[in-house]
Amino acid sequence: MKCSAFAVAVALMAAVSSAYACGPDALGTTRTLAISGEKGQAYGTAQHGPLALAKDEVVITFDDGPRPETTPRVLDALKAQCVKATFFMQGNNLTAYPDLAKQVVADGHSAGLHSYKHDHMNQLSPADQVKDFDATRDIASKVLGKDAAPFYRFPYLGETPDLMNALKVSGYTVFSIDAGANDWEVGETPQTVTDRLMKNLDGKGGIILLHDAQEVTAQAMPLILKTLKDKGYKVVHIEPAR
């Protein structure tokens, strides 16, 4: 009994210590939402129905990485604020930078798929779309093992019926978006990216799209997270139901 009580006390102290490490002003992660892929769900009001979020809740997601020039700084910014996010990774970058992909999940983030090399799926044959998905899933499984989440986002948000069906059969959940920042456009600054994201959120929350492969995004993350905090948003982390 004493050993059990001691173990609980140690666990509680560790949890308090971990929470305090970010300080009282950190944005933090409010809760975790488990996603079941049994019914082949799809979320994001740009193309589908909304995720089960409150008005002031956001899910932070990144596309196109991991990239060694930028992703580590994105991870550092998230860690500094105790924020958990979801990274939709390209297969070619998983192949090129496996250790960085592993670092993403080691930091507690979810890792989904974003095609192998960002082709437009609607420009590929149905068979080639499935081959692309299979190749991306295979390398994710090889690099990340069971930590590879059954989450998928289409390149360019260009969904196709054939691949949607294949994803559903495979138990994958498709994520579109609710608000983006256009951080991929030439000439953007941390301030313009942050301002656009807040305008697009417009107090309603939802799934945020950013790109960890973009230099401006790496620069902007501290400002984005601070502004989310200042405006009263709360972060929800999505992960697969186990």
Per-residue pLDDT tens for 205-221?
999 999 999 999 999 99
- Preceding amide of 155 cis, omega within 30: no
Query: For residue 184, what are its two tokens?
Result: 């991929």
Extract the runs of DSSP E, i.e. beta strands, from 64-188. Answer: 86-89, 110-113, 148-152, 173-175, 179-180
Is residue 212 within 8 Å of 64, Cβ to Cβ?
yes
Active site residue 114: no
The answer regarding whether domain 25-240 maps to CATH 1.10.10.60 reads no
Query: Which of these is catalytic: 114, 211, 212, 237?
Result: 211
Active site residue 211: yes
Query: Which of these is catalytic: 63, 64, 183, 212?
Result: 63
Is residue 42 within 8 Å of 189, Cβ to Cβ?
no
Per-residue pLDDT tens for 55-66?
999 999 999 999
Residue 160: which pLDDT band, with cuts at 50, 70 and 90? very high
Per-residue pLDDT tens for 132-143?
999 999 999 999
Percent of the chain scored above 90 by pLDDT?
86
pTM here is 0.91
Lowest-confidence pick of 32-46, 68-82, 97-111, 149-163: 32-46
